[in-house]
Amino acid sequence: MMSADELYMHRCLQLALNGEIGAPPNPMVGAVIVCDDRIIGEGFHARCGEAHAEVNAFASVSKADERLLSQSTLYVSLEPCAHYGKTPPCADLVIRKGVRRVVVGCIDPFAKVQGRGIQMLRDAGIDVTVGVLEQECRWLNRKFFTFHTHHRPYITLKWAQTADGVMGELGGGPLLISNPATLRHSHHLRATNNAILVGWRTNVNDSPSLTTRHYSGPNPRRIVYDSHAETIPQLLSRLYSEGVQSLLVEGGAATHSQFLDLGLWDEIHQELGMPRHREKLLLSNALFERAAHRLSAKPVPISKSCESEAAIKSEELGVKPQTKIICAPKLDLLPSWQETIGTHRILHYYNYK
């Protein structure tokens, strides 16, 4: 059973998610003001450059309830800022409002904060509790935390493949695997990442638009990666210096494998579609379940370096011998969780620490 502090911090996290599209590169933050087990104000950070969660929470308190602030507790999912940016320090506002207690989900890793906001509150005589639902609060802003602690973008690898391990055909253009619902999932990923990357070969062969046309949100910055021009570590260092907090890598297989071989990934979204060939569409649900499970546990093997775009002879799948296909990267991992969308399945893997 949740404690009262956990319950109200959970509400902060719910509120914070409303800023998923607008808040970055700032973190998503929610705030709740409670007096005698009654919420008298709440808010979230909706858009970068605009009011922070604490400001909106205090602004939502009615005139009749303002007299209760000195008896109230402020819950906030991330430490109140202590510096002047596009807005004044929230720690100063909290002190002026005179709340008796502040409960903080986690400390802000940003160099200009890092505990300074908490210390300001304590120096003003406010009782401060830190670390309520800390892991959940850190997870919500994992992209922000990774950028400021590891000095690189948060990296998400995403690809779609058939249940028999195929991502595409060499020279055959893009293979349509996703259904409308999983396309929306993919474009949600695009809308919530600062930049999107494909390898130069995928860019030439498929001419992907890499936009958010199936989801309401901004188009990510488009990056075409050429391993002959710079290494992946060099690319990530450059993107960090340019303020890119999150990077979505959509292919192709060789590019994905390079990131995997270097251990440079935080999250993987692996979509499993139906088998590639018409006769295989007649498989029973039970057979498809077994195929999907077998793929997640022991995918079609490829060479570790994947230098040839993971091409294998397609007679293994019963098609014309001269046709070569691109197979999915090998994952010697168990998914963290999975979801089913129609006839498709999305496996989620996490490497975030």
Structure tokens at 246: 């999150």
Degrees to nearest 5, angle at CA 70 with 66 and 73: 95
Q: Are 180 and 293 in contact (CB under 8 A)?
A: no
Q: Are 117 and 83 in contact (CB under 8 A)?
A: no
| Buried-state track 167-180, b at ≥16 Cβ within 10 A, e below 16 | bbbeeeebbebbbe
Q: Which of 67, 26, 60, 25 is nearest to 43 (CA)?
A: 60
**Which residues neighbour 8 within 8 Å (Cβ) at sequence distance 6 or greater?**
32, 34, 39, 73, 75, 103
Structure tokens at 141: 């802003």
Degrees to nearest 5, angle at CA 75 with 70 and 77: 150
- The residue from 6, 20, 54, 242 that is catalytic is 54
Asked if 54 is an active-site residue, the reply is yes
Instruction: List active site positions.
Output: 54
